[in-house]
Amino acid sequence: MHLEPDSTAVIVVDMQNGFCHPNGSLYSPGSETVIEPITELVSRARNAGTQIVYTRDVHPPEQFADAHYYDEFEQWGEHVVEGTWDAELVDELPVEAGDHVVEKHTYDAFYQTELEGWLNARGIRDLVLCGTLANVCVLHTGGSAGLRDFRPIMVEDCIGAIEADHREYALEHADWLFGELAEREDLEFGG
């Protein structure tokens, strides 16, 4: 799959200590195992001139205090609280000067963030999605991208999950409803 660097961005979803590190509040071994493949993908894409975007799921301590229904702390317990080590990106994926970081407060990286405008301002139409969790933030961000007329490409071997069937469901759903699937070795940036 050939991708033009000028109109493509790699979206690295929520590769944070809270999800990827054994001491994290919502640690998933499946999230930790995709750090190395994502690092390789990001390096190859960056070298070709493709824009890299990292999302960070960050929750202010009182975010859900007045919630009517949507309360992630009730669902998952407190996690990736603003200003904590838990909320930081894993060290293996350093953010470089030209990268963009989107701070989000829900599963969807487009919801009440600047992501859509930032991508549109740069003429980016194709989104290479990787990160964690497959059936939560990656799925919701990919679906939201598709609804906004971006082309979401889910990188199968760069998406973490709590359980294998969660990942399988998310990828099948994405492929059927709003996006495309690819392995990282099948992606060609530029040239």
Q: What is the CATH number of the domain that holds 175?
A: 3.40.50.850
Domain that holds residue 159: 2-63+70-189
Total count of domains within the chain: 1
- 147-166: pLDDT as tens digits: 999 999 999 999 999 999 99
Active-site residue 104, yes or no? yes
The two three-digit tokens of residue 166, written as one number: 């969660």
Q: In whole angstroms, how far apart are CA 157 and each of 35, 102, 167?
A: 10, 23, 10
pLDDT, tens digit (0-9, with 9 covering 90-100), for 80-132: 999 999 999 999 998 999 999 999 999 999 999 999 999 999 999 999 999 99
Assess whether 14 carries a catalytic annotation.
Answer: yes
Residue 18: pLDDT band with limits 50, 70, 90: very high
Catalytic residue among 57, 104, 108, 126: 104
Please tell me the pTM assigned to this model: 0.96
Tell me whether residue 158 is one of the annotated catalytic residues. Answer: no
What's the confidence (pLDDT) of residue 191? Answer: 62
Upstream peptide bond of 147 is cis (omega within 30 degrees of 0): no
Which of the residues 20, 130, 137, 158 is marked catalytic?
A: 137
Predicted pLDDT at 190: 84
